[in-house]
Chains A and B, each alone.
Chain A
């Protein structure tokens, strides 16, 4: 629930890397099979004969690593919101000796890695696996399947509304509010809301899919013909805050300098907020009559081998015991998934789960909604990149920055063909979007250039995107590092842009500051802070997302993110392109 979330995420990935030695030991027989050397080849022939013999005689081996007798490992690719189960999982680790490790990631990244077979995780644990299963159904390699799955807990994606607005709209204790009613309040300008990015976070995706179904007016599964772009564009014009994760969204919603009318998020997040930061004036939870989509947190087994099967089975049955289900409910506000487990009194205002909207039947419809949301329905974004081109960036670092920007422009994929067709889902949805304004501000000891682009054509290889790639290739180095002068210039630029009246809805503007060193000239941190505080509201509400790269100072980057309500991302423990892709969810 706190800002350092990003850093912790990076740190956990780092820890995963440190564990990789152990992992290699565990997998050494796999490695041997992959790279047989010398006499080992003969051995494998023998081993195969042994296996054949075993099969003939009807005797079956048992695995010496069988965790049934205690111990064992289970590596899980997990959604970032599952961090709140860490304490609970400690109990499981203690009781069983099973080493459960969670590697946190976004839904699309998990889908990419599971469908491509590039994860070595034994299990996946996401808020929902519907999109994953649609993608697996389309995958050319039919052998990648989910071996087993079990739902572990539930939370519907609902609407939390500021209590004064809920009273004014007559929405308190009103069971017949529909998504169309919400759309009407957006259209009159009375209501704005926060929601995560559908291509980064499951709560945003569920909301998009649900609202699209509800506004189609059928309440049955959506077909492409049912989608109402005009109604959806009007609805999402009300979204004034986006985020890459549900937890950060909640923080930013509470801290927002300009009040936001409500938030679409998991019921569990809103209940936790109502019991915490907003306990004096809790949000009114609306369960729209036409329905919602509920996250059911399936734990999915990815490999059928006996050792992991055993650990998986034990974790599933432990999680689904009534006691653990009640503990999950009281600590995280997520509803029990085990039938017959009830809480009295229930911590949620609607004892029964609200009506469920259908999820699309094909990935074609889901992908269409995702792309159309970014290119068409949502408010356009204005992404301002403040980029360090000081001498320390020379060589590999500058090349990484260039390729990161090329990737966002859809021309920097691993194949280098520039068609964008081989992109992963995560890369595809991180790309610059239709109607997006992109500004590149380069600096060293002074601000070098301010380059402005507008993406009218988001197809990879379009003239608009090629222009951004060309600018990335043309980045040149200067001398000195004046971080705060550059940032000050960026905010001045924001203030000037905001003053010029945009046609239609205001874009969602954000700043990304990437540096690989510490400030050594120009404006001081304090001077920047004072000038930032003196900015007009509209400019001051623009958040800065900082990217720690090379020898950048973590404390400087964290403070800037803190002052501006942004977040810090550490590209040293992941990669520059990964950090930028993650930030795209916040733009």
Chain B
């Protein structure tokens, strides 16, 4: 937006030509006029440039969200990037807010830029999107357990299959369902750039460490060595979580039989009832699972105002629920539910068995070690 001012001013003066000197003399006083030169209508709105994790794009560009923000005087322009990538971008000056998928990334940006404010309006547990025939195969293999409407995915049993180098074709009954020699692996994003993959890594390291958060360097090194294969053996991976889930929806199980996603991505589609979730698709909850706390870091006052609105506006909280997110403020959640935003069929289960992520230092160390494994081609 800084850019826009510069452009307009340059243009204006090109037109004015001889009036140049006058404008220069007028100095800063003249600058105050510039905003008033804007035409009426949409342009009364303050444009807020946001760099967000791709999983929130459809929420932030929802016409109802756009109109709630417009009533408050804001127009949001959304660019997407992997949440970890957001922390390494060099062009953040062009934005009013960033909205990564978790607090560690938000903390890092705050630290790097000397900021203090942030908002965590909603969260989402990690979940696994899959297909019923695959879930049945995994149930027979002792990985998936169904309890009423909720199907859970036993992370310990899964990691045992991984350690044993199990291929899909090794599972009883795979011939009729998924006859490939590919390893049994959850599809994920690139752990070097994406938060959902970092959460997957955090979850794996917690489970592989005997349900303990990894706190020591030596343990982290051991866990990273094991986890590197979970990513590298998948080959090329996307940077942001929207992509593998889009491929899950559009390409079916040929691309990947199970995909690590945010619960919100799946619920959003279910609640939209747009036909993209076919009857043979379902969501598995890892046992244990881990939460992503989506966090706004405002970089300007306008960004701050939007961050505040996202946390406090009952309309925006209701719309966030429609897009599959779980609001952080229990009162807001209850009130929104009261308005009937969520229906019983797609109500998410209470999750009690959750893992905590390791410290940012340990998380970075593990990711750096995996990046090294990519560079040396081992793993």
Q: Which residues of A contact B (CB under 8 A)?
A: 29, 32-33, 39-40, 42-44, 46-55, 58-64, 68, 130, 133-134, 142-143, 145, 147-149, 151, 154, 176, 213, 217-224, 289-291, 294, 296, 304-306, 309, 336-340, 352-356, 358-362, 364-365
CB-nearest residue of chain A to B192: A137
Q: How far is the CB of A283 from chain B (nearest CB, A)?
A: 21
Please pick, from A49, A61, A356, the residue contacting B47 in the complex, using a CB distance under 8 A. A61
Contacts of A358 in B (CB 8 A): 182, 233-236
- Asked whether B9 lies within 8 Å of A220 as measured between CB atoms, the reply is no
- Asked whether A361 lies within 8 Å of B235 as measured between CB atoms, the reply is yes
Q: Which A-B residue pairs are the 3 nearest by beta carbons?
A: A358-B235, A221-B235, A339-B249
Contacts of A336 in B (CB 8 A): 250
Please pick, from B24, B48, B181, B185, the residue contacting A42 in the complex, using a CB distance under 8 A. B24
Please pick, from A32, A58, A220, the residue contacting B10 in the complex, using a CB distance under 8 A. A32
In the bound assembly, the distance between CA atoms of A29 and B13 in angstroms comes to 11
In the bound assembly, the distance between CA atoms of A364 and B253 in angstroms comes to 28
- Asked whether B252 lies within 8 Å of A352 as measured between CB atoms, the reply is yes
In the bound assembly, the distance between CA atoms of A159 and B379 in angstroms comes to 32
- Asked whether A60 lies within 8 Å of B28 as measured between CB atoms, the reply is no
> A60-B47, A220-B182 known; 6 other A-B pairs, CB under 8 Å?
A49-B31, A54-B2, A63-B7, A219-B183, A305-B3, A337-B246
Contact A362/B47 with A44-B10, A50-B34, A353-B251 known, Cβ cut-off 8 Å = no
- Asked whether A359 lies within 8 Å of B235 as measured between CB atoms, the reply is yes
Contact A134/B254 with A44-B6, A47-B10, A49-B28 known, Cβ cut-off 8 Å = no
Say yes or no: is B354 at the interface (Cβ < 8 Å to chain A): no
**Could you say which of B45, B77, B305 has the most chain A C-beta atoms within 10 Å of its C-beta?**
B77
Say yes or no: is B180 at the interface (Cβ < 8 Å to chain A): yes
In the bound assembly, the distance between CA atoms of A145 and B34 in angstroms comes to 32
Please pick, from B6, B11, B24, B250, the residue contacting A338 in the complex, using a CB distance under 8 A. B250
Say yes or no: is B42 at the interface (Cβ < 8 Å to chain A): yes
Say yes or no: is B20 at the interface (Cβ < 8 Å to chain A): yes
In the bound assembly, the distance between CA atoms of A338 and B272 in angstroms comes to 14
In the bound assembly, the distance between CA atoms of A359 and B238 in angstroms comes to 11
Q: How far is the CB of A132 from chain B (nearest CB, A)?
A: 11
- Asked whether B2 lies within 8 Å of A62 as measured between CB atoms, the reply is no
Contacts of B8 in A (CB 8 A): 61, 64
How many residues belonging to B are interface residues under a CB distance threshold of 8 Å? 79
- Asked whether B91 lies within 8 Å of A54 as measured between CB atoms, the reply is no
In the bound assembly, the distance between CA atoms of A356 and B178 in angstroms comes to 12
- Asked whether A60 lies within 8 Å of B96 as measured between CB atoms, the reply is yes
Q: How far is the CB of B96 from chain A (nearest CB, A)?
A: 7
Please pick, from A42, A130, A223, A354, the residue contacting B254 in the complex, using a CB distance under 8 A. A354
In the bound assembly, the distance between CA atoms of A33 and B8 in angstroms comes to 12
Please pick, from B6, B24, B233, the residue contacting A51 in the complex, using a CB distance under 8 A. B6
- Asked whether B11 lies within 8 Å of A60 as measured between CB atoms, the reply is no
CB-nearest residue of chain B to A350: B254
Please pick, from A47, A143, A220, the residue contacting B5 in the complex, using a CB distance under 8 A. A47
- Asked whether A59 lies within 8 Å of B251 as measured between CB atoms, the reply is no
Contacts of B239 in A (CB 8 A): 133
Say yes or no: is B117 at the interface (Cβ < 8 Å to chain A): no
- Asked whether A223 lies within 8 Å of B377 as measured between CB atoms, the reply is yes
